[in-house]
Amino acid sequence: MEPSYGVPDFLAIREQNEGEGQNVSYPPVTEARRMTYTRNARQRWLYDVLGIAGDGTASVLAIMLASYTAWYTVEVWRQRLIWPDVAVLWAMIVIGKAWLLRRPNRTPMDQLRAATLWVGAVYGAVMAYVLLARSYYSRSFLLVSLVVLLLWQMIDILLLRPRTSPTRLAAVPSSIMDKLSVLPGLDLVPLSGPRLHEPVAGLVVDMHEALPPEWQRFVAECAASGLPVYHAAAVYETASTRVPLSHLSDGWVGDLFNGPATYLPLKRFVDVAAVLVTLPVTVPICLLTALAIKLDSAGPLLFWQDRVGQRGQVFRLVKFRSMRVDAESDGARFALDGDHRITRVGRVIRRLRVDELPQLWNVLRGEMSLIGPRPEQVSFVREFERKIPFYSWRHRVKPGITGWAQVQQGYAAGLEDTTEKLEYDLYYVKHVSFWLDLSIALKTIRVMLTGRGAR
């Protein structure tokens, strides 16, 4: 976690108190620090064993598949010239990944980046050794095993593996602690006084709230003893993958978008390439959907509507029509569960998200991206900008067909759901990257298969 919300210098406070000759009595955090990871280590043991077993099995299957591709047999151990190198490759990947993912408080995107780079580095080292030693190797074997292992990292980390074993953190009392206590991956220990009574992996402090002198001294001693001190807002952001609106300020928001700007031009290239490459699949689906809509109900195939895009610019979004023609005769409103305005075919295509496919045209026109915050209707945006702070900041990037809020939260209806959705959208805007987009793409496939969050 990177506390980008501003952190007081508690060590300076401690030195100032000692320099003024104050009789400072610090709690015994040094002993707690020595015990910091004892409990977490025990909790992580089963987690690590299961992770290594899963990675080991997947790696063996990848190697067997590559062996069949190269030599038409899964018995790779019979290839005596390459078997020792394969064994070393397998061990380095499995053990190295387990070691990399042991670091607590890493987001799935961080874990995926670390695991992918590690697999690539191991294969690079193996290739360098093979070339320098002039050893026997099979290009098809190395290529197939590399591709399968990279795909496994994505599926394992983003879809199968739990984010982490619960991290035990002590918490200084504050208004945000109720939100933190219900987040997955955290084992929060509320403190009733400035003293640690059990081992923890860190201390959570709300830097936006004024601390009494005794709490300031306590936090200073924790930091001096080596116990990590985290800002509560940063913990909330990492654990929930949402930016806490209650802890934003104008000055901090100004630094919100200093992220990987170099990725955005590449993102546009990826959008166009992905649309063109998938046309052989999407065009037949669109034709079948159009036929089903025409047979099901009278009216146009497509539905056009003004939406708010990047920098607040209004554009015409296109979708397959999933509602009756007169669905918005009395004004725009959110779709509800069991909404009578939705047609029979509309329920199916909304569940599978097929109604969004015509927006590939908006992507080609540069009005949208494949991945980004979902564009809202103009009337809704004007209302939300009046009622929700920082709402307009979601328009910093291009809207998308799917987004972080859609795969994490689902459909948002109403002011409260939209506020939560905005926290997810701002997290995407702040952390936009290839790895986050890859995570959203894989989660979108799962959402399409399960229909989660559709209305």
Helix (H, G, I), strand (E, B) or coil at 317: strand
Please give the domain boundaries of the chain with CATH numbers for all domains: 10-25+166-240 (3.40.50), 40-160 (no CATH), 263-450 (no CATH)
Greater pLDDT, 132 or 276: 276
Task: Grade residue 25 by pLDDT with cuts at 50, 70 and 90.
Answer: very low
Greater pLDDT, 163 or 195: 195
Alpha-carbon distances, residue 423 vs 373, 391, 394, 433 (angstroms): 11, 9, 9, 17
pLDDT per position as a tens digit, 79-125: 777 777 788 888 888 888 878 776 655 677 788 888 888 998 988 88
294 vs 277: CA distance, rounded Å: 27
Is the pLDDT score of 445 beyond 60? yes
pLDDT of residue 363: 97
Is the pLDDT score of 63 beyond 60? yes
Task: Grade residue 378 by pLDDT with cuts at 50, 70 and 90.
Answer: very high
CB burial string 191-223: b at 16+ within 10 A, e below: beebebeebbbbbbbbbbeebeeebbbbbbbbb
Count Cβ atoms within 10 A of the Cβ of residue 282 and give its class: 0-12 exposed, 13-18 middle, 19 or more buried. Answer: middle
DSSP H or E segment with residue 406: helix 404-408
What does DSSP say about strands 167-171 and 229-231: parallel, antiparallel, or unpaired? unpaired
pLDDT per position as a tens digit, 112-163: 888 888 998 988 888 888 788 777 778 888 889 889 988 888 888 877 765 5
Write out the DSSP string of 55-83. HHHHHHHHHHHHHHHHHS-S-GGG-TTTH
- Section 403-407 average pLDDT: 93
pLDDT per position as a tens digit, 199-216: 888 899 988 888 899 999
Region of 432 please: left (phi>0), alpha (psi -120 to 50) or beta. Answer: beta
